[in-house]
Structure 1
Amino acid sequence: MLGIVHFPFFVAAVFLLNVTPGPDTAYIVGRSVAQGRAAGLMSALGICTGCCVHTIACAFGLTALLAASATAFTVIKFAGAIYLIYLGVRLAFSSSAKSQAAPDGAGDGDAPVQVSKPLRQLFLQGFWTNVLNPKVVLFFVSFFPQFVSGESQHKALAFLTLGGVFVAMSIVWCLFLVWVASGVTRRLGGKPGVKKWLDRVVGSAFVGLGLKLATATR
């Protein structure tokens, strides 16, 4: 159908890809542990939206053009690395800043104002974490074509279908990560010291991922 071939192998490969730790997994787990289930869900939604962008780009050839250009690869690589390092540093030091600001900013009237904006930021951060990862670009352009017949008359639609399956499986895995990681948050309860330590660990991991991405080759 639509020229899609070896579909069971595609599903198996996507499953293995999802369970392999990477920047997306680290971001979802970190946000879920630091801020709870809602933050994890928004982060996962942002990442899966980024996968939708890659799917559309792959279907219409934009991903192939980026992968073929050394300049484009380098620009995306360093943009993604800088963004990951920025998120890591911000996460690592955010707990200290919040703990210092808490005595002055403790007010019941502030709570409703601060809910929507952080969640929106988490969505955008998850989105850009995925979109600015050049390894995701190369994955889509090298992986998806293996499951579309060269004789297919509907290549774009085949890519979109495979992308839809990829995103659907990713959503299920991300929801599982959020559920597990947010359980850690509930168990931590009133232990801000432990959560601050976890923020720093996850932040340091992001810095490490950013540095690794900056030194990656095509």
Structure 2
Amino acid sequence: MLTFAAAVFFLIITPGPGVLSTAGVGAAFGKSAGIRYVVGLFIGTNMVLIAVVSGVTAALLADERLRVILFAASIAYLSYLALRIAFAGSKVAFIQRSAPPGILGGITLQMINPKAYAVNTALFSGFGFLPENLVLEIILKFVIANAIWVPIHLGWLALGITVQRMNLPHRTQRAINVAMAASMMLVVALAAFAQI
């Protein structure tokens, strides 16, 4: 169970569309809008969890052609996101929008977020700790994953709010963008490597 909890922590805390956009909403729109967005991400994440556990995701990915198309689209999306962040200039560029995305925006992002599917598939298909009671194991995994997911996303939200208030020098803001983009590209590289 501790191995599962550690895997949840490290897989969720790494930069991906969910946590980066959470920090971005906090930076751009503040705490209230950020909380609404995190609620949407939470709902979307649990919808992805249900799709993974119920086998819906596996059924869709059983078709080799569909799997290749979805994989290519996921890689393209993550690469696009990384490039937007890297070339945003000297302004910290977690996200750029004129209005906060809200609950529906959070749900939508998680439903198309390739990292959400990859992470949840890895977590729920591996790291078994109660082989004699699979139902209880799945329930415990849901509880543990959510208990770790919530504070991590609230932490990224607080980070976004804090970074924006700091009014950092342009050079530092640019370095943050490049580091975030490099993290995203690492996710892309790991996903591509896993498919080989």
User: Under a length normalisation based on structure 2, what TM-score does the superposition of the two structures give?
Assistant: 0.66
Report the equivalent of 1:54: 48
The answer to whether structure 1 residue 123 and structure 2 residue 82 are counterparts is no
Report the equivalent of 1:31: 24
The Cα shift of 1:133 comes to: 5.2
Report the equivalent of 2:98: 114
Listed as ranges, the matches of 1:73-112 within 5 Å are 73-95=67-89
The Cα shift of 1:52 comes to: 0.9
The answer to whether structure 1 residue 22 and structure 2 residue 14 are counterparts is yes
Report the equivalent of 1:103: none
Give the structure with higher Rg (CA).
Answer: 1
Q: 1:49 to 1:84 in 2, by over 3 A?
A: farther
2:162 to 183, 190, 197: 183
Q: 1:141 to 1:210 in 2, by over 3 A?
A: same
Preserved contact between residue 48 and residue 116 of structure 2 (Cα < 8 Å): no
The Cα shift of 1:83 comes to: 0.7
- The runs of 5 or more residues in structure 2 that have no matched partner are none
Preserved contact between residue 25 and residue 34 of structure 2 (Cα < 8 Å): yes
- The runs of 5 or more residues in structure 1 that have no matched partner are 1-8, 99-112
User: Under a length normalisation based on structure 1, what TM-score does the superposition of the two structures give?
Assistant: 0.61
Q: 1:93 to 1:49 in 2, by over 3 A?
A: farther
SS in 2 for 1:114: coil
CA distance in 1, matches of 2:151, 2:121: 23
Give the fraction of aligned pairs with identical amino acids, expressed as a percent: 17
The Cα shift of 1:142 comes to: 1.1
CA distance in 2, matches of 1:196, 1:71: 39
The answer to whether structure 1 residue 172 and structure 2 residue 122 are counterparts is no
- For the aligned residue pairs, the C-alpha RMSD in angstroms reads 4.1
